[in-house]
Amino acid sequence: MLTRAQIRRLVADNGREVLEHPNMQRERANYQHGNVSTFAHSIRVACLAVWLADRAHLWGRVDLKSLVRAALLHDYFLYDWHDWDAGAHRLHGFTHGNAALCNALRDFRLNAIERDSISCHMFPMTPTPPSYVEGWLVTAADKLSATRETFSLDRFNRGKRPAGGAR
């Protein structure tokens, strides 16, 4: 069984190209749930997806690199959806999977697993389920992380963090 440190190392190694991209770094300034940046949320989802694959003994059926990259890019929509913008992000929950995919296709070469897992990660809110095991892991990890982040007491400390830092 992988340790937390091993999982973090796998995410850093397999996600290096994504994590170092300037647009991914911009996600440090966008908040996702509570006081958690989209950057930090994406890393949590990637770590949790790897943890789930490991604990469920799925390594015979899962491509680790595609899993990590899809998890890191699943919310690559590159805006703060809390910003008021005349309602353009009103349908955020339904549309951001495709927005993330469009941005990711512009910035990276993605395989079929990565593309499908990003665009379908909001299932069942959106109608199309993921086609790959990797996509189901990203979807499950995202739901688990979002629930924890939204209900964390930490969110009330948002004003106390140093500006621009990763959470």
- Nearest 5°: the CA angle 130, 37, 125 is 30
SS3 content of the chain, % helix, strand, coil (to 5): 60, 5, 35
Can residue 75 be called a binding residue for Fe ion (CB under 5 A)?
Answer: yes
Binding mask 76-115 for Fe ion (x = CB under 5 A): ----------------------------------------
Task: Choose one: 12-20, 61-69, 74-82, 151-159; the region binding Fe ion (CB under 5 A).
Answer: 74-82
In angstroms, give the least distance from the CB of 18 to Fe ion. Answer: 14
Can residue 27 be called a binding residue for Fe ion (CB under 5 A)?
Answer: no
- Closest to Fe ion by CB, 7 vs 122, is 122
Give how far the C-alpha of residue 100 lies from the chain's centroid of Cα atoms, to the nearest Å. 10
Q: How far apart are CA 18 and CA 3, in angstroms?
A: 23
Can residue 116 be called a binding residue for Fe ion (CB under 5 A)?
Answer: no
* Contact yes or no for 52/63 (Cβ under 8 A): no
- Total residues contacting Fe ion (rule CB under 5 A)? 2
- Beta strands 36-37 and 31-33 are antiparallel
Task: Choose one: 13-21, 49-57, 72-80, 150-158; the region binding Fe ion (CB under 5 A).
Answer: 72-80
Binding mask 136-155 for Fe ion (x = CB under 5 A): ------x-------------
The type of residue at 117 is S
Q: How far apart are CA 94 and CA 105, in angstroms?
A: 19
Interacting residues with Fe ion (CB under 5 A): 75, 142
